[in-house]
């Protein structure tokens, strides 16, 4: 059974390892001449500690084992997904899609979700489109990074009146 809860400092090393694992396959698509290390800082404990302190950092567990994570910034009706990571051994099993659906359930006030992913991470592009996100912008290659980004958005489905009444009663 999957669950999504706030991450803690105790989880930080595992969260970093899951994030690095999530980008392992993408390394084969990384343009030539670019240093390894995934998106900048992804492989550092300090970066994950910063996210833990400044964002909503959620951990996904399956039967008690950490299998994924999601880093969010919630600002009124807008939500930004700073990171969605599923450990390599749990990819293609529905965990990532479940996390997306679960954060939408947890934050029903969000009308628009936004995220960015490296331009070379074509596997991610397919995943986000499959989960209802639309490509909104392509940010050109940054010479200091050697790659650009794709910005995706998703408009949340409006609540029907029965759902709204049910959630209001909670």
> CATH homologous superfamily of domain 2-169?
Gcn5-related N-acetyltransferase (GNAT) (3.40.630.30)
Q: Is 104 exposed, middle or buried (0-12, 13-18, 19+ CB in 10 A)?
A: middle
> Consecutive sets of 10 residues in the chain, 170 residues long: mean pLDDT of each?
96 95 71 59 91 97 96 96 92 95 96 93 92 96 87 80 40
Q: What pLDDT is recorded for position 156?
A: 86
How far is 12 from 124, CA to CA, in rounded Å?
Answer: 23
What does the pLDDT read at residue 18?
Answer: 94
Query: Structure pTM?
Result: 0.85
Q: Please give the pLDDT value at position 157.
A: 72
């Amino acid at each position: 059974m999957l669950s999504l809860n706030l991450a803690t400092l105790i989880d930080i090393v595992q969260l970093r390892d899951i994030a690095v694992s999530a980008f392992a396959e993408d390394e084969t698509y990384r343009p030539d001449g670019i240093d390894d290390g995934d998106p900048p800082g992804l492989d550092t404990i300090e970066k994950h500690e910063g996210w833990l302190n400044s964002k909503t950092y959620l951990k996904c567990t399956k039967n008690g084992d950490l299998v994924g994570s999601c880093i969010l910034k919630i600002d009124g009706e807008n939500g930004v997904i700073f990171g969605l990571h599923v450990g390599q051994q749990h990819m293609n099993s529905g965990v990532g899609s479940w996390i997306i659906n679960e954060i939408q359930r947890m934050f029903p006030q969000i009308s628009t979700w936004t995220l960015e992913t490296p331009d070379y991470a074509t596997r991610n592009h397919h995943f986000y489109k499959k989960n209802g996100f639309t490509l909104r912008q392509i940010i050109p290659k940054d010479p200091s990074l050697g790659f650009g980004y794709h910005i995706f958005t998703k408009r949340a489905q409006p609540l029907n009146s029965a759902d709204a009444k049910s959630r209001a009663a909670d």
